[in-house]
Amino acid sequence: MNSLILHSVKNIWQQAPHNAFTDLIAFNRALWCVFREGSDHISPDGAFRILQSSNGDQWHSVALISIQHADLRDAKFSLTPAGTLLLLGAGVLHDKTLYSHQSYIWQSDDGICWSEAQPVGEQNIWLWRMTWQQKLYAVGYKVGQPRLVRLYNSTDYKSFTTVTDIYSGSYANESALLFEPDGTALCLLRRDPEHGLFGVSQPPYTDWHWQDTGGRIGGPQCLQLADGRLLACVRLYDDKVRTSLCWVDRHSGKLTETLPLPSGGDCSYAGMVLQGTTLYVSYYSSHETTTAIYLAVVSVLAAN
């Protein structure tokens, strides 16, 4: 018996020419979805649209964040211990004379009114996702040469300190970072065109052990269930490009596809929120018409 049951999938937004690269969080008794709107997959006009829903069914727009001098991409939410909502994203600068990429953080107390963009991290290193383990951690990858993936932490959400370079060599980039209850760090890392990697590290997270996931992946996100199982949502490339939920073997690093979501073509980049036994997954796909934002509702059953 499959321990994941797909209950529903709903198109929740497709008003821009291109709608993509989602994230999802539970905040103030509601679900919040953020994604990029633009005129194309790569275009200079990328902005962050934020939707809110009290029930996961009806969604409405509450904010649109843009910067005049940059294409904003790959927004990721995080909630501080004090209850402030953070939004991390990368800007591809229009003027690339000095450098081409800068990461930014925005803060909000209500998800509707947001601070001005605060530049964070190093120039030309794309901070991908924020995760809490006493401090705020983020993995960033270098845009251009030399190829490297770097782990950072922060205590004030403004200055990010390098912990270590966790991977170098081939073109590794997007990542999902999580921490187990004992402090062990786990990282699901995309490489192109090679297979993805699954990494494990113990505090202080300066030494990483990497294993092959068994396939090429894109847009990784991952969470750990209460029973310890690791569930990822990734883009898979074999046979047919699709967005799919996969179990991650904690010991071998291998991914096992368990529930493909309705998707195809330009797709993936999921956000995941688990509430009890209900999993909400935001993602984008172009399998119906143009690129659109979808929300899947999945029941998570106990392990067999």
Q: Which domain CATH number covers 228?
A: 2.120.10.10
In what order do the strands lie in the sheet containing 197-201?
171-179, 185-192, 197-201, 208-212
The answer to whether position 260 is within a domain reads yes
**pLDDT tens, 128-182?**
999 999 999 999 999 999 999 999 999 999 899 999 999 998 999 999 999 999 9
pLDDT at 86: 98
Supply the pLDDT for residue 284: 98
Reported residue count of the chain is 304
User: What's the whole-number average pLDDT of the chain?
Assistant: 96
Domain assignment present for residue 244? The answer is yes
Q: Which residues contact 108 (CB under 8 A, 6 or more apart)?
A: 84, 85, 87, 114, 115
Answer yes or no: is 276 within a domain: yes
Cis, bond preceding 81 (omega within 30 deg of 0): no
What pLDDT was estimated at residue 34? 98
Is 269's pLDDT higher than 90?
yes
- Chain centroid to Cα 47, Å, comes to 16
Tokens of 288: 């119906």
Per the structure, the complete domain to which residue 273 belongs is given by 4-15+89-102+121-300
Total domain count, the chain = 1
Q: For residue 96, what pLDDT band results from cuts at 50, 70 and 90?
A: very high
Q: How confident is the model at residue 246 (pLDDT cuts 50, 70, 90)?
A: very high
Contacts with 288 (C-beta within 8 Å, 6 or more apart), sequence order:
11
**Domain annotation covers residue 234:** yes
Q: Give 239's pLDDT tier (boundaries 50, 70, 90).
A: confident
State mean pLDDT over 193-209. Answer: 98
Q: Is residue 62 part of a domain?
A: no
**Within a domain: residue 231?**
yes
Residue 67 DSSP label: B
Query: pLDDT value at position 57?
Result: 94
Please indicate, yes or no, if residue 209 is contained in any of the structural domains.
yes
Judge whether 292 lies within some domain: yes
pLDDT digits (tens, 9 = 90+) for 108-138: 999 999 999 999 999 999 999 999 999 999 9
**Tokens 């633009």 label which residue?**
38
Asked if pLDDT for residue 1 goes beyond 70, the answer is no
Whole-number Å distance between alpha carbons of 231 and 245: 7
| pLDDT score for 110 | 98
* pLDDT, mean of residues 258-275: 97
